[in-house]
Amino acid sequence: MKNETGVTMAPLPCIFCGGKGKDPFGIMSRLSDCPVCLGKGVVQVPVPYVACAHCQGSGAIKRLTCTVCRGKGRVPAAVGPTIVCPDCQGTGDDSSAPAMDCLTCRGRGRVAAQ
């Protein structure tokens, strides 16, 4: 399946809620739908993908949805060669505020090789 921009998408179990479809942190209510998969338990992710560096593939930063992968835990794989981001050493975290994503690599942990 391809989305409107021609990126191939594949369904994967939602990592944020463990595929249960309910908000894992119960911020609104334990019965609330998961904000990432909207209660479906499945998310569409771009293919090929890599684990999100900022949230280490968990989809969550503390109890909030990761802003880099929007809670999916995966980000589109970069096209072409990449190197570890020199500013965050690959963590995807801002050095002064780890809950924020690194501006250099936008939370990916890797940047394009020059």
List residues near Zn ion by CB under 5 A: 14, 16-17, 34, 36-37, 52, 54-55, 66, 68-69, 85, 87-88, 102, 104-105
Min dist. Cβ of residue 74 to Zn ion (A): 8
CB of 107 to Zn ion, least distance (A): 7
Are residues 15 and 72 in contact, defined by beta-carbon separation less than 8 angstroms? yes
Residue number with CB closer to Zn ion (6 or 90): 90
Query: Which residue number, 44 or 104, has a Cβ lying nearer to Zn ion?
Result: 104
Structure tokens belonging to residue 52: 């999100």
Q: Which helix (H) or strand (E) holds 11?
A: strand 9-13
User: Which is closer to Zn ion, CB of 6 or CB of 29?
Assistant: 29
Q: Which two tokens stand for residue 6?
A: 């021609």
- Please give the single-letter amino acid code of residue 95: S
Closest CB to Zn ion among 6 and 98? 98
One DSSP character per residue, 52-100 reads -TTTTTSSEETTEE-TTTTTSSEEEPPSS-EEE-TTTTTS-B-SS-TTS
Kindly state the smallest distance separating residue 83's Cβ from Zn ion, in Å.
11
Least distance from Zn ion to the Cβ atom of residue 33, Å: 8
